[in-house]
Amino acid sequence: MTTDVSTIYLLDVATGGSIEAELRDAIEQAQLDDWQVKWQPALLAVLQDLARNGVPMSQWPQSWHWNWAQKTAQVQGLLAFRGFSVVACGETQGLAQVDLRKAGREPSQVGKPLVYLDYLEVAPWNRPELGPAPRMRGVGSALITAAVALSVDEGFKGRLGLHSLPQADAFYRKIGMTDLGQDSAYQNLSYFEMTVEQARAFLEEE
């Protein structure tokens, strides 16, 4: 399967200008390599800093203990899973993986198929919670846009579901998703859904 590449734009936080980027509808070896040799060391440096400064673990950033190589190997060849990546300046800036087998829980779409955002992570150097100067903005939004667009493309009409990281709850509310409360089956992460209407508004907003 060939990878489709869409041109997108990110915000350069330092200059306020734009950065041309690629939204790719796959996670490939180059992304796994970036994750291993660029994301991991960057994250490690932050963690060492936190540990040195005695920051309690409960205040540490989320998503630092995840092995992409393992996960992609597990879902290789399965139609139910799709990956997305954002690449800019020759580096992977964000990754996402979706699962197409899940169904809605929000009252208007109970049991109807949706795109479930299995995993979304932005490169450590773009994450505002990891340091004072994130480089690019728009990576997470682009990956969510891709997931909603895929939902439309697959005939799921934009329906989307995800378990939010606690620090990200406010963002999902801001983009109009419905908060369906904490999910005890998922470490009490809040579960959010985007309805057909919400997806339409999200994709059209100009």
Partner 1 sequence: MVAKRTMTLNLTDAEMRVLDELSVRKDITKTAVLRQALRLYQTIDARVDKGEKLLFENEATKEKAELMLL
Partner 2 sequence: MKLERSKDWWMAQARREGGAVIGAGLLAFDPVPEEHGSGAQSAAAEETRIAFGKFVNLMRRRRGFSIEQLAQAADLDASELLVIEDHNHYVPEPRTIFKLAETFEVSQRRLMQLAGLTAANDAGFRQEAVRFAARSESVQKLTLEESSALEAFVAVLSDREPKRVK
- Nearest-angstrom CA–CA distance, 160 and 155: 12
Among partner 2, partner 1, none, residue 1 binds (CB under 5-8 Å by kind): partner 1
Q: Does 105 bind partner 1 (CB under 8 A)?
A: no
Residue 148 partner contact from partner 1, partner 2, none using kind-dependent CB cut-offs of 5 to 8 Å:
none
74 touches partner 2 (CB under 8 A): no
Is 79 near partner 1 (CB under 8 A)?
yes
CA-to-CA dists, residue 78 to 61, 82, 83, angstroms: 31, 9, 11
**Smaller CB distance to partner 2: residue 11 or 103?**
11
First-to-final CA distance of the chain? 32
Q: Rounded to whole angstroms, how far apart are CA atoms 33 and 92?
A: 9
Which is nearer to partner 1, 93 or 195 (by Cβ)? 195
Identify the H or E element spanning 138.
none
Give the x/- contact pattern for partner 1 in 7-26, rule: CB under 8 A: ------------------x-
75 dihedral zone (left: phi>0; alpha: psi -120 to 50; beta) = alpha
In whole angstroms, how close is the CB of 138 to partner 2 at the nearest point? Answer: 3
Angstrom distance (rounded) from CA 73 to CA 75 = 6
CB of 149 to partner 1, least distance (A): 10
Give the interface with partner 1 as residue ranges (CB under 8 A): 1, 4, 25, 78-80, 100-101, 109, 111-113, 153-157
